Every structure is written in C-alpha cells, then in structure tokens.
Structure 1
Amino acid sequence: MVVRGVRDDDLEAVAGIAAHYVVSSVATFAEVPQTVAEWRERLGDLAGRGLPFLVAEVDGEVAGYAYAGPWRPKPAYRYTVEDTIYLAPEHTGKGLGTALLGGLVERAAEAGMRQMIAVIADADGDGSVALHRRFGFAEAGRLDDVGFKHGRWIGTILMQRPLGGG
C-alpha cells in the first residue's frame, strides 16, 4: 500500500468509491453521487487552499481516499478543517483508514491548520469513532436527528483533534 497525493487520473476511482457510500449507506449525508467533474472542482479548491487530498493505492488501484476540507465557510474558521475518509468496500479492515488518517493529520498540520474535526454518522459509526480515537480525537459533542436519509433520521458524533498549526 502507498499513500500519496491524489492525481487527476485517480478521480474516477474516487468518484466510484464515494458513490458506493452515497447510494448504500448513511456514512455520508450526500444523496446524489458527485461526477468526476465535480471531484475535479473539489480537488482544485482544496489545492488552492493548500489542503491535502490523499489516496491509498493497493496493487496500482485506488483503494481509498481522504481529504481535509474547510470546516465552515466563515473566515475565522480558516485554520480548522474537517476530515473525510472513505475506503473501497473490498479494502476495509486492512489498515488503509489508519494510513490515510495518519497522512491527513500530518499534512494538515504541515499546511498550518490548527484543529481537525470529524463528523461521523452515529448509525454504524463505531469503526470511524475508534479510528479517530486512535489518533487522539476526542468527542466534542453529538447532534441528534440532523440528517434524513434512506427513510430515517441520523445524528452525528463530532470529534476534534488539535494539530498545532495556525
């Protein structure tokens, strides 16, 4: 496995991984899969902000991705990022999430970010919570029934980790 910066030719695989979670889970509150063009826009936005967007590659195939995006749009939040991590279903449980989150934390700190926030759906989020705890994230709060997807209400668990930058 190799963790590296995303390239334009990775975006089709990234879009496919994301689409799986959009249509089959509540891990993301997105309801319509993003196109490759939309992923290209996101990559450009993140690159323009100096924020990391990584992939985990296994045997030459993109097996997962992670990026640090703006937490909120207001300028005072500019040193706080939210992490996003998704793995291809056939590559879960192999340490890729650990490798991606480790790389993301390191690169976000290098980019001068001060705090990283994780927003985890409380339905089936135990693995994500455990992963984030291993990296020093602490629970910062819960929001009940803030998302409605696949015919049910879903809450979120907020976790936070200082990065030291900013």
Structure 2
Amino acid sequence: MIELRDASMADAERLLGIYDYYVKNTAITFEYETPTLDEFKSRMARITKRYPYLVILLDGQIQGYAYAGPFVGRAAYDWSCEMTIYLDHRARKQGLGRLLYTAMEQALKKMGILNLYACIGYPKTPDAYLTTNSADFHAHLGYVEVGRFHQCGYKFGRWYDMIWMEKIIGAHKEAQAPILEYKNSKSKGEN
C-alpha cells in the first residue's frame, strides 16, 4: 500500500538515512558530509514554515521524500521554487518519484506557485557516482533544461556540470495574486 503525507520531525532520522546514502556514494548532492540529525531537523523546520515537505510510504515504510524551497529568496521570486527529491536507493523504478512530484506539484499549484526549478548535477560522461537519471526523470515529468554551469561541482576527484531545469505550472498574469501559505495536514486538523 502506498501512502503520501506531510513529513514530521519524527521522520527526520529515516529521511537523513536516505540522504546519507547519496552524500556518501553519489554526486547527486554536492554535499561532502552528511549533516547531523539536528542540522537536518533545522533544515526541515525552515522549509516547512512556508513550503510542502512530503514523504511517500510503501507498506508503512518511508521510501522517499520531496520538498520545495525558495528559488532565490527575494520577494519577486515568490511564485517560483526549487524542487528536491530523494528516494531510498533501493526503491527506485517503482513510480514513487512520480507520485511524490505529482503531489508536490498539486500542493504548490494550490499555493499559487507558477515556476518549478530543479538544480541537478550532470556528468560529462555518466560514471559510478553520477548518471543522467535525475535529468531524465525531470524531463519525463515536463521539465526542460534552461541553463548549464560547466565543471562547477567537484566531488570524488571529478568535475561535474550542474544544470537547471524548469517547469511552468501556472499562468503568469499582469496583476498576480500573492502566493498562499501551505496548509499541511496538521494545520488542517488532520492526523
């Protein structure tokens, strides 16, 4: 059984465990060291003040998470956000990523978000640490490449490019309404 829900601080240890694999074994994240549990919880708290942070469970076990965050951090960018997703490395190719991103997109659309961005490490040649899977996943969901930074990330003794991908999910108007606050299940009085 698959379940999608808002993440809670009680999930942080499991989510950090998922992320730890990517820090230690891949160039998907350019972070060199896994954050502490306290730092990870602090990051979650900052994100959930304004944006959705969702987890996906399969048979009661968290298999991945996704969240949105500020694109740049200035008021003029309020209608844009950066997307992040991590699945347990053993849970890939089951459609869970698509389900998570679809739920994220729906939540962000309700908020009035118009532009979604993904910052993705990209190899000149796929290797043991980084393939084009993330870019391919985003392209499959309607994202298009809009920028590339060459050899800007160095990890495991190799240089990697970084690409930005974009997906437009709403209409841009001359008089744009402000974005709404994200209403998670707890703020709606649900468990």
TM-score normalised by the shorter chain: which range applies? over 0.9
CA distance in structure 2 between the partners assigned to 1:145 and 1:126 by the alignment? 15
Could you report, residue by residue, the CA deviation over 1:48-98 in whole angstroms, capped at 9, with x for unpaired residues?
12x110111112111111100111123322221111111111111111111
CA distance in structure 2 between the partners assigned to 1:106 and 1:125 by the alignment? 28
Structure 1 residue ranges without an equivalent (≥5): none
Using structure 2 for the length normalisation, give the TM-score. Answer: 0.81
CA distance in structure 2 between the partners assigned to 1:136 and 1:161 by the alignment? 6
Q: Counterpart in 1 of 2:134?
A: 128
Q: Counterpart in 2 of 1:99?
A: 99
CA distance in structure 2 between the partners assigned to 1:149 and 1:5 by the alignment? 32
Q: Give runs of ≥4 in structure 1 deviating > 4 Å.
A: none
Q: Counterpart in 1 of 2:56?
A: 56
**Other structure's SS at 1:31 match:** coil
Structure 2 residue ranges without an equivalent (≥5): 124-129, 172-178, 180-191
Residues 1:143 and 2:149 aligned together: yes
Using structure 1 for the length normalisation, give the TM-score. Answer: 0.92
Q: Counterpart in 1 of 2:65?
A: 65
| Paired letter, 1:91 | A
Q: Counterpart in 1 of 2:164?
A: 158
Q: Counterpart in 2 of 1:108?
A: 108
Deviation for aligned residue 1:125: 4.1
CA distance in structure 2 between the partners assigned to 1:134 and 1:90 by the alignment? 21
Decide which structure has greater helix share.
1
Q: How many residues align?
A: 165
Distance 1:77 1:83, change over 3 A: same
| Paired letter, 1:154 | Y
| Paired letter, 2:155 | K
Deviation for aligned residue 1:36: 2.1
Identical columns (%): 32
Could you report, residue by residue, the CA deviation over 1:21-42 in whole angstroms, capped at 9, with x for unpaired residues?
0111000011111222222212
Q: Counterpart in 2 of 1:47?
A: 48
Higher Rg of the two aligned structures: 2
CA distance in structure 2 between the partners assigned to 1:39 and 1:76 by the alignment? 28
**Other structure's SS at 1:103 match:** helix
CA distance in structure 1 between the partners assigned to 2:79 and 2:37 by the alignment? 28
| Paired letter, 1:161 | K
CA distance in structure 2 between the partners assigned to 1:77 and 1:29 by the alignment? 24
CA distance in structure 2 between the partners assigned to 1:38 and 1:66 by the alignment? 17
